[in-house]
Amino acid sequence: MKRIAVYSLLAVMLVIAGCPVLTKNSIDNGSYDVPAWLPGKWQEVDKDGKPKTSAYLLEKGSGKGKLKYYDIKTDGTVDRATGRDMILSSIDGNIYLSAYTPADDMSEEGYYLFRLRKVSNTEMVLDGIKEHAIDYEATQADIKKFITNAKEDAAIYEATDSYTYKKK
C-alpha cells in the first residue's frame, strides 16, 4: 500500500511539473558503445550533492548501446524484478538515452528520452527532452531528425527534468 501511495504521489508530481517525452520508439537501436565508466550503482543527488532516494544499478546488456537498469531499494538491495532496458545513442557528438518503461495506469509503454552529459567518470546529468516535443508515434528517423535539427536549441530540454547522478 505504501508503494502505491509513493507511485501515486510521483505520478501527480510528474503531471504537475511535466516529464520527459514518452515515445513508442527508442531513438535508435544502439549507436553508442556503453563506456566502461557507466555500468555500476548510481545515486540521484540534488543540486547541493545530497543523495535522493532514487538509485539504480546499470549493467551492460547484450549488443551495442544496450544497458539494463534496476531499482536499488532503500535498504541497498537491488530489485532484480524491476529490470528494464536502456539504449544509448549518438547524435552529432552528443549521447542520448532511451529508457524503456512498461505501461501503467498513467501512461502507455514506451521510451523516455534524455540527453546524457558526462561530468566525470563518477557523475552524469540526464536532461529530459520536453514532453510533447516529439509525438508518441514518431519513428526512429523522425526522432533523430528532430534532435539533429534542434541540437543547438536548449529549449528542447525540460528545465525541471534534469537529473544528476553520482556513482555509489
Instruction: Tell me the pLDDT of the chain (168 aa) as tens digits.
Output: 444 433 333 333 333 345 889 999 999 999 999 999 999 999 999 988 899 999 999 999 999 999 999 999 999 999 999 899 999 999 999 999 999 999 988 889 999 999 999 999 999 999 999 988 899 999 999 999 999 998 778 889 877 778 999 999
With respect to residue 10, please indicate whether it lies within any of the assigned structural domains.
Answer: no
Looking only at the bridges linking them, the beta strands covering 40-45 and 94-101 are unpaired
With respect to residue 6, please indicate whether it lies within any of the assigned structural domains.
Answer: no
CATH of the domain at 82: 2.40.128
With respect to residue 33, please indicate whether it lies within any of the assigned structural domains.
Answer: yes
With respect to residue 28, please indicate whether it lies within any of the assigned structural domains.
Answer: yes
With respect to residue 5, please indicate whether it lies within any of the assigned structural domains.
Answer: no
With respect to residue 4, please indicate whether it lies within any of the assigned structural domains.
Answer: no
Q: Domain of residue 42: give its range.
A: 19-167
With respect to residue 8, please indicate whether it lies within any of the assigned structural domains.
Answer: no
Cα–Cα distance list, 127 to 22, 46, 112 (Å): 14, 14, 11
How many domains does the structure of the chain reveal? 1
With respect to residue 12, please indicate whether it lies within any of the assigned structural domains.
Answer: no
pLDDT score, position 18: 55
Q: What predicted TM-score, i.e. pTM, was given to this entire model?
A: 0.84
